[in-house]
Amino acid sequence: MENNNKNRHSIEARRRQRAENFRLNIAEGYDSEEYVDREPEEINSYSGQDVKEQIARESQKSLKKRQRAQKRELKARNRRNRRIFRIMWLISILLIGTMIATYLVTGMNDLLAINRTDNSKVAVTIPANPTLETVTAELVKNGVIDEPDYFKMFAGLTKSADGFAQGTYELSKNMDYQAILTNLQGKASRTDTVEVTIIEGMSVLEIADKLVEEKALGDKDKFLELCASDNFDDDFDFLKAIKNPGERYYKLEGYLYPDKYEFYQNDDPSSIIYKFLNNFESKLYEKQSFDGYEKLYSVHKMIEKTGTSYSLDQIMTIASIVQAEAANKEDMYYVSSIIHNRLSADDDMGVATLSLDSTKYYPYRSEESLPKTAGKNYKSRYDTYTQRGLPPGPICNPGNEAIKAALQPYETTYYYFCHDKDGQAYYASTIYEHEANLEYIE
């Protein structure tokens, strides 16, 4: 029993010794004050804050890992997309290149008419006020071209998009673009022509009506406007020499030479007038026979040769009156004689004015032809019953014989003339003889 107690005491002593040693070891490793003052969390390495930071670090690592994976995936996708884009780009370039090449080859073939072997003729009718669009449509419709867009591009590049005129043109189906444009913008291939005969003595107004009737002229108002203008003076000296254009109704009256003409349907008024004036100019200088002269002379030369004091314009005015008043060729020379005699007569001879019926209502033919707008008291500036001397200009467009009669009147003492209903002429030197003639023919 005693031994058991001793053993217990011995074991207890050893335990106390171990506990004491443990405390000593702790004291040696830490300063007691420092240990006491230290915050609890600093002692515990596994506090809540450390856990949070650890979780945050782990999350950040995971996020970076995912971002790196996404970047790798994005780069891989971009590489795939670039490869696909390059393939599609190459395919597009090939397709576009093929299309452009096809368009160019097809267009060039059409431009040069390489594949158009049909040389048959076709009539292409261009409408009024044509545009490049309407012209192109007509060419396609008639089988003259196959590529309208290419044709319009060519016309634009060659500055040929304008200058088309209404009309019917004969074209070959194997023409190239340049030949087509040349034919359409010229007039050599037009087939819609009309023949118009202008009779001696027709006035500007009557000529305009005739041209409209024959479908040669579409714009009568423009034609009359041009006939009253100075637009042609720079091209024709005989027009530039006219001294009193402001006194005239139509400056070109007398110079639209009567003849047979060929015009295009609905022709340009300016082109029509140029044809008339060019013809007059050629006749003016054309040599012909004159009474009393063995050599041939032109009208222009005969004015110089006869030494007349009248200008060409005054001769044309006399010729127009002769044309309007005379019944036939022989009568022309007598009427011309009477006009010349009156123009040079003394005032005391009682013939101070020409007193010619043909001038009274000009530019209209007679009182019946006056427009309603003229009114009952219409007075013409050309009326030789009230105006002394020659009227301001010609009253119609005379023919060659009337012009010759104006240049070479018969030598007579007549101052009066009249005609019966059959055109028989009666001449008189005095007013008494003239009144007797008037009584006779009534």
- Confirm whether 356 is domain-assigned: yes
pLDDT score for 379 = 94
Find which of 8-17, 160-169, 252-261 is predicted with most confidence, using mean pLDDT: 252-261
- Confirm whether 59 is domain-assigned: no
Tokens of 161: 């998009």
- Confirm whether 55 is domain-assigned: no
Provide the CATH number for the domain around residue 264: 3.30.1490
pLDDT of residue 44 exceeding 70, the answer is no
Q: Which helix (H) or strand (E) holds 434?
A: helix 431-441
Torsion of CA 297, 298, 301, 306, to 10 degrees: 70
Of 191, 224, 249, which closes a domain? Answer: 191
Does residue 303 sit in the same domain as residue 263? no
- Return the residue matching tokens 């058991």: 4
| Cβ partners under 8 Å of residue 262, min gap 6 | 193, 194, 195, 196
Does residue 117 sit in the same domain as residue 265? no
pLDDT score for 225 = 98
78 is in which domain, residue-wise? 68-191
- Distance, in Å, from the CA atom of 80 to the CA atom of 52, rounded to the nearest integer, reads 41
* Average pLDDT, integer, range 96-121: 75
Does residue 270 sit in the same domain as residue 204? yes
pLDDT score for 35 = 43
Provide the CATH number for the domain around residue 127: 3.30.1490.480
* Average pLDDT, integer, range 109-133: 87
Q: Which runs of E-coded beta strand occur in 152-279? A: 167-172, 193-197, 260-264
Does residue 259 sit in the same domain as residue 378? no
Number of domains observed in the structure of the chain: 3
Alpha-helical runs (H) found in 132-247: 132-141, 148-157, 177-185, 204-213, 220-227, 237-240
pLDDT score for 30 = 46
pLDDT score for 96 = 75
Does residue 206 sit in the same domain as residue 351? no
pLDDT score for 261 = 98
The percent of residues in the chain predicted with pLDDT above 70, rounded, is 86
Tokens of 301: 């030369």
pLDDT score for 113 = 78
- Confirm whether 362 is domain-assigned: yes
Alpha-helical runs (H) found in 294-430: 299-306, 312-325, 329-344, 400-407
Does residue 441 sit in the same domain as residue 311? yes
DSSP 117-153: ----EEEEEE-SS--HHHHHHHHHHTTS-S-HHHHHH
* Average pLDDT, integer, range 186-213: 95
- Confirm whether 240 is domain-assigned: yes
- Distance, in Å, from the CA atom of 408 to the CA atom of 307, rounded to the nearest integer, reads 11
- Distance, in Å, from the CA atom of 196 to the CA atom of 188, rounded to the nearest integer, reads 19
- Confirm whether 253 is domain-assigned: yes
Does residue 300 sit in the same domain as residue 439? yes
- Distance, in Å, from the CA atom of 287 to the CA atom of 296, rounded to the nearest integer, reads 5
pTM for the model: 0.72
Does residue 311 sit in the same domain as residue 350? yes
pLDDT, tens digit, 9 for 90 and up, residues 224-271: 999 999 999 999 999 999 999 999 999 999 999 999 999 999 999 999
On the CB side of 91, CA atoms within 13 Å amount to 6
Phi, psi of 170 (to 5 degrees): -95, 115
Does residue 198 sit in the same domain as residue 261? yes
**Confidence band of 114 (pLDDT split at 50, 70, 90):** confident
pLDDT, tens digit, 9 for 90 and up, residues 351-407: 999 999 999 999 999 999 999 888 788 999 999 999 999 999 999 999 999 999 999
- Distance, in Å, from the CA atom of 281 to the CA atom of 400, rounded to the nearest integer, reads 12
**Confidence band of 23 (pLDDT split at 50, 70, 90):** low
**Confidence band of 442 (pLDDT split at 50, 70, 90):** confident
- Return the residue matching tokens 């002593």: 13
- Confirm whether 5 is domain-assigned: no
Q: Which amino acid is at 255?
A: Y
pLDDT score for 187 = 80
pLDDT of residue 440 exceeding 80, the answer is yes
Q: Which helix (H) or strand (E) holds 424?
A: none
Does residue 198 sit in the same domain as residue 187? no
pLDDT, tens digit, 9 for 90 and up, residues 278-332: 999 999 999 999 998 989 999 999 998 888 899 999 999 999 999 999 999 999 9
Does residue 168 sit in the same domain as residue 254? no
Of 221, 249, 284, which closes a domain? Answer: 284
- Distance, in Å, from the CA atom of 155 to the CA atom of 149, rounded to the nearest integer, reads 10
**Confidence band of 206 (pLDDT split at 50, 70, 90):** very high
Tokens of 159: 């500055």
Of 170, 191, 212, which closes a domain? Answer: 191
pLDDT score for 350 = 85
DSSP 17-61: HHHHHHHHHHHHHS-HHHHHHS-HHHH-TT-HHHHHHHHHHHHHH
The percent of residues in the chain predicted with pLDDT above 90, rounded, is 61
- Distance, in Å, from the CA atom of 354 to the CA atom of 322, rounded to the nearest integer, reads 12
Bigger pLDDT: 26 vs 140? 140
| Cα 338 versus chain centre, distance | 52
Does residue 297 sit in the same domain as residue 442? yes
How many Cβ atoms are within 10 Å of 227's Cβ, its own excluded?
24
- Confirm whether 18 is domain-assigned: no
Count, residues in the chain: 442
- Distance, in Å, from the CA atom of 41 to the CA atom of 187, rounded to the nearest integer, reads 112
Average pLDDT for the chain: 87
DSSP 281-304: HHHHT--B--TT-SS-B-HHHHHH
- Return the residue matching tokens 């008494």: 432
DSSP conformational letter for 364: S
